[in-house]
A and B are shown apart, each in its own frame.
Chain A
Amino acid sequence: DAMVIQNPRYQVTQFGKPVTLSCSQTLNHNVMYWYQQKSSQAPKLLFHYYDKDFNNEADTPDNFQSRRPNTSFCFLDIRSPGLGDAAMYLCATSSRTGGELYEQYFGPGTRLTVT
């Protein structure tokens, strides 16, 4: 089945210790998104890739970086995690062709704990 996969599902890191979350997709979608969702809050878009073009949200902290080495994979790097970065991180994909807008497909998320 075509899907969006996130690894690991649960990640514990220490305050200030760099951490990388990964996302892969078998949908062959050209757009990939990273969201941060804190408890009882709306998912908040951090950045997205349209093909290889990286698009950062204006309020995404510099502490968050991303890489997309190919169509299938996208990584979220948190350079120096703080306690406030503990959250669920959701990866999503969509297919954008011409003027059409397609829904986003989400992975199961990675729950990040910062100790």
Chain B
Amino acid sequence: DQQVKQNSPSLSVQEGRISILNCDYTNSMFDYFLWYKKYPAEGPTFLISISSIKDKNEDGRFTVFLNKSAKHLSLHIVPSQPGDSAVYFCAASDINAGGTSYGKLTFGQGTILTVHP
């Protein structure tokens, strides 16, 4: 039962254009969402997050949009740069979960983004 899904295994974009990475979730208890970026031979690094009380969060070239009714979030990168080429993971958490579930992240399987010069 995969609670967080990234249905596009890969995405190819031209430099300077917009990259849109999508993520769907099924667990309605999730209320905090994160995007991680992973380069080869490195661990995932935190990129941007959003709480369910918001529908948009922006940080420089990166914007995350949350549609709670559709249980969908997306990461927009504008403009895309070759250095953005990496695997992007969506993750979700229930920040109101108590006990041992607090702070646990459920990850999607990742989308490989390639930005061509």
Q: Does A105 contact B (CB under 8 A)?
A: yes
**Which of A6, A96, A103, A107 lies at the interface centre, i.e. has the most chain B CB atoms within 10 A of its CB?**
A103
- Assess the B100–A101 pair: CB atoms within 8 A: no
Interface residues of A in 24-59 (CB under 8 A from B): 31, 40-45, 48, 50, 53, 55
Q: Which of B32, B42, B45, B110 contacts A101 (CB 8 A)?
A: B32
A106 near B44: Cβ-Cβ < 8 Å? yes
Whether the pair A4, B43 counts as a contact (CB closer than 8 A) is: yes
State whether A96 touches B9 (Cβ < 8 A).
no
Contact present for B109 and A101 (CB under 8 Å): no
Could you mark each residue 98-115 of chain A with 1 if its beta carbon is under 8 Å from any beta carbon of chain B, else 0?
A: 010111111111000000
Whether A43 pairs with B107 at a CB distance below 8 angstroms is yes
Residues of B near any A CB (own CB < 8 A): 2, 4, 9, 32, 34, 36, 41-46, 49, 89, 93, 95, 100, 102-110
Binding site for B on A (CB under 8 A): 4, 6, 9, 31, 40-45, 48, 50, 53, 55, 90, 92, 94, 96, 99, 101-109
In addition to A101-B32, A103-B49, 17 A-B residue pairs with Cβ atoms within 8 Å of each other are A6-B43, A40-B9, A40-B109, A41-B109, A42-B89, A42-B106, A42-B109, A44-B107, A53-B100, A90-B43, A99-B95, A101-B93, A102-B103, A103-B46, A104-B105, A107-B43, A109-B43
